Amino acid sequence: MPVLHLEMLPGRTLEQKRAFVREVTRVTVETLACPPESLDVVITEVPRDAWAKAGKLIADA
C-alpha cells in the first residue's frame, strides 16, 4: 500500500489539489503496477511561519 506525502505552503485551490492527486495517482499506478484503491495521498499544508529556507522563515521573505 503506497502512501505519498506532499508538504507544501498553503494557497493552492481545491481544483489544483484534485488535479495533482488525479495525476500522481495515475503515474503511481502505472509505475508501481498497483491498484488505485491501494494508494493514499496525504497533502499537508505548512504555514509560512513554520517553514524555513536558507536560514530564514518563508514568512519573512
10 carries an active-site annotation: no
Residue holding cell 505519498?
4
Query: In whole angstroms, what is the distance from residue 26 CA to residue 55 CA?
Result: 36
Residue holding cell 499506478?
29
Q: Which residue among 2, 10, 35, 47 is the active-site one?
A: 2
C-alpha cell at 59: 514568512
| Positions marked catalytic | 2
